[in-house]
Structure 1
Amino acid sequence: MHSRSRYARSATVAVCALLASVAAAGGAVAAPSDGGSTRLTVTVEDAPVNGTWDVTCPSRRKSDGRGNAFCDRLEGLAAQGIDPFAPVPADALCSAEYDGPATATVAGRWKGRRVDARFDRTNGCETARWEQLRPLLPPAH
């Protein structure tokens, strides 16, 4: 029974991720192509990995060594026209699935644009938004 519940949860998160990506792509402003710098400060609380760290791209150096993977992830999302820091649209249909108390903030500049985003796992859409930014945001369990 536990594996069935895990499968249903995985399917729900996958559907929400797809919906959130489609909604974000439809309303997202494409990242500027001017090659602007990316300098972000990430703070994570109430997760298995907590703390604050800095990310700088394109130098791809980060204080804890995960900078390359995160910079690559951001570039991939930008290439798809997805703004990973956009909030979930107010009219999005999200599962009422609480996935824990983990929270994160990301502040700074992405591609030269100001970022001040908050992440949590309070419903399926927010959880999908968090997962979209892995490996920058750590697993919440």
Structure 2
Amino acid sequence: MPSTSTASTAGHGFSAPARPFAPAAPAPAPDRMPRTAGPVLRRATVVLALAAALGAGTAGVGDAVGLPKAGVRAGGHLSVAYDDGSGHRLTYSVRCTEGWPAEGESEACRRLREIGGPVGPVPEGQACTMIYGGPQTAEVIGTWAGRWVRESYRRTNGCEVARWSRMVPVLPAPTRSGSRRPLAG
């Protein structure tokens, strides 16, 4: 009769038969996956593709920053206070009529309609290049598309320079010659 050894667990008053170590079974190779994995993955892929095709991923696109909402024919009155950084200040107004753009409308109004109004702030936590764009600052206050607007602009890093650039010609485009003439509406 074969002998069986027991391993005692000290202090617990019972013993268990000793078992030799057995390695775990290897995972099935990719070509030997269970037959149900293929159809499940295919179904998941089809469901995701259909959701994307039906627009589940595009809900709210008109609400994105800088995109006009459908049906909004925006206009408004904005006051711009500009400082070139050397003490020269300029204040001017941009008036854009609501409705369809009128012939002879200023470039500033066309640009505001194109980008959906004054560009909002840089999102918190946004990584920005540390490229200084200049000492210029501007504050835009007023109404656009029936909403109160108060935005500050500066050129202190890459994100702020990009915001400023999107607002040209509402904000003056700094030039090398130092000439900064706004195109007010």
Tell me if both proteins adopt one fold, taking TM over 0.5 as the criterion.
yes
> Does 1:39 pair with 2:77?
yes
Q: How does 1:39-78 map to 2 (within 5 A)?
A: 39-46=77-84, 50-58=89-97, 68-78=106-116
Range with bigger deviation, 50-59 or 25-34 = 25-34
Aligned residues: 109
- The structure where helix makes up a greater share of residues is 1
Partner of 2:158: 124
Q: State the Cα RMSD in Å.
A: 3.0
Partner of 1:99: 133
What is the TM-score when the length of structure 1 is the normalising length? 0.65
Mapped contact 1:85–1:115 kept (Cα < 8 A): no
For structure 2, the residue ranges without an aligned partner over 5 or more in a row are 1-61, 176-185
Aligned partners of 2:170 and 2:66: how far apart in 1?
Answer: 21
For structure 1, the residue ranges without an aligned partner over 5 or more in a row are 1-24
Q: After TM superposition, give the deviation of residue 37 of structure 1 in Å.
A: 4.0
Q: 1:75 to 1:29 in 2, by over 3 A?
A: closer
Which is greater in Rg? 2
Percent pairwise identity:
35
Choose between structure 1 and 2 for higher RCO, CA contacts under 8 A separated by at least 6 residues.
1
Q: After TM superposition, give the deviation of residue 27 of structure 1 in Å.
A: 5.1
Q: Deviations over 1:82-128 (max 9, x none)?
A: x5331001121110011111000000001111100000000000001
Mapped contact 1:47–1:139 kept (Cα < 8 A): no
